[in-house]
Amino acid sequence: MRISYMAGNWKMNYTRSEALSLVKELLDNGSFKNKILIAPPFTVLEAVAGAVKGTDLILGAQNMSTNESGAHTGEISPLMLKDLGVKAVILGHSERRSIYGETDKIVNTKIHLALKHSLDVIFCIGETLEERESGLAEKIVANQVIEGLKDISENELESITIAYEPVWAIGTGKTATPEDADDIHKVIRKKIGELYSKEAAENIIIQYGGSVKPSNVKELMAKPNIDGALVGGAALKAETFIPIMEYNK
Ligand code: PEP
């Protein structure tokens, strides 16, 4: 039985006081029956770590360096994240891939490094609109799974959640239909079965991301292969994130 896992990616939003006030609202008014993670920006991780300590709200980061230390100006190492109390890291987000040129190989290197330092991973994949319209969505996503998980063992896979985020649905207000999303999740699960085992395919948690809102979360989560959501815009306010956290209350 896979648990429901809802994650909020705050992207480049919120100063310390804004972040702490959102966390307080989530903790005071939300329930944590499902697995819930928030990924605030690096600059507020320490403050938020203090606020979530001892609660069920999991602290994540939005990115991480390919290196542990050294001459990498502006980068953040997994050791620094661990030091702040971060438990998980989002890797391969489409904004990292498309704006900052992250390739499957870079994402794979980051996944290995995160796991080496016992950070859980939300591994993002998804096709562009052009790829979908050319009928390539399944092929692109399957290939991202193969390349991103290269040399990752079945044991290590237990620390990885896959987030399927069609690029054309992120921040656009367009959501994949639950049927379309579930079809791709099925492809991902099948690929995990081929690369690892039937059990690994059954156990892997696959989140959907792309304009998830209180109004569409229930129908998405009703699909058999959709186990959670990676949420951007709607994670920025308690009034929209709490109904997503509690979609099955
Ligand atoms: C995201 O940033 O991963 C995302 C899915 O954003 P939004 O929910 O705003 O589409």
What is the domain-level CATH number for residue 65?
A: 3.20.20.70
165 neighbors 188 (Cβ within 8 angstroms) = no
Assess whether 165 carries a catalytic annotation.
yes
Structurally, the chain folds into a number of domains equal to 1
Residue 16 lies in domain: 5-245
User: Does 209 contact ligand 1 (Cβ within 6 A)?
Assistant: yes
The residue whose C-alpha atom lies closest to atom 3 belonging to ligand 1 is: 232
User: Does 60 contact ligand 1 (Cβ within 6 A)?
Assistant: no
The per-residue pLDDT for range 41-68, each reduced to its tens digit, is 999 999 999 999 999 999 999 999 999 9
The residue whose C-alpha atom lies closest to atom 8 belonging to ligand 1 is: 232
What's the farthest any 2 CA atoms get from each other in the chain?
A: 48
The per-residue pLDDT for range 132-152, each reduced to its tens digit, is 999 999 999 999 999 999 999
The per-residue pLDDT for range 189-206, each reduced to its tens digit, is 999 999 999 999 999 999
> Do strands 206-209 and 160-164 pair parallel, antiparallel, or not at all (unpaired)?
parallel
Ligand 1 atom nearest the C-alpha of 235 is 8
Question: Residue 54: what residue type?
Answer: G
What is the structure's pLDDT at 145? 98
Spell out the residues 6+ positions from residue 177 whose beta carbon is closer than 8 angstroms to its own: none
What is the structure's pLDDT at 171? 85
Please state the rounded mean pLDDT for residues 76-91. 98
The residue whose C-alpha atom lies closest to atom 6 belonging to ligand 1 is: 232
